[in-house]
Amino acid sequence: MDHGMPMMHRRHMMMHMTFFWGKDTEILFDSWPGSGHLAMYLLALAVIFFLAVAVEWFSHSERRPAAALLQTLMYALRIGLAYLVMLAIMSFNGAVFVAAVAGHAVGFFFFGSRAFSKGAAQDSGNGKASDLPPMSC
């Protein structure tokens, strides 16, 4: 019963419910990166990696923006990027998962850790209990 709507001939790809390894997957968009295209698959992994780095950058950027509107826009962008990374991981492709975790790790190293902060030597006596950021979205 088509209720007056034309039949759409779509291929039905099985949705994985466990992690798997392989380049033939769909990430975020229909037919992306496409099956059998190693270069597009590697590009998709790089995009997920850099999305995760961007999430960490926005999570650890300057906390005192000049206006509340700018702060709100940065928050919305950070949450949007975080949801894109989460949706990509829901493809259950193992390499996508590794790319996302690696992107978050590299982003935290550059933007969240004390490795590149100007006052890293002085921060050791600030009474901070942990080097890890608070667990909140």
69: left (phi over 0), alpha (psi -120 to 50) or beta: alpha
Tell me the pLDDT band of 24, cut-offs 50, 70 and 90.
confident
Q: What is the mean pLDDT of the chain?
A: 77
DSSP 19-67: -B--S--B-SSTT-B-TT-HHHHHHHHHHHHHHHHHHHHHHTS-S--SS
SS3 93: strand
What residues does each domain of the chain span? 46-116
What local confidence, expressed as pLDDT, does residue 96 receive? 93
User: CB neighbours of 43 closer than 8 A, spacing ≥ 6?
Assistant: 33
User: Among 64, 56, 112, which residue's Cα sits nearest to residue 85?
Assistant: 56
Beta bridge partners of 33: 26
Q: What predicted TM-score, i.e. pTM, was given to this entire model?
A: 0.61
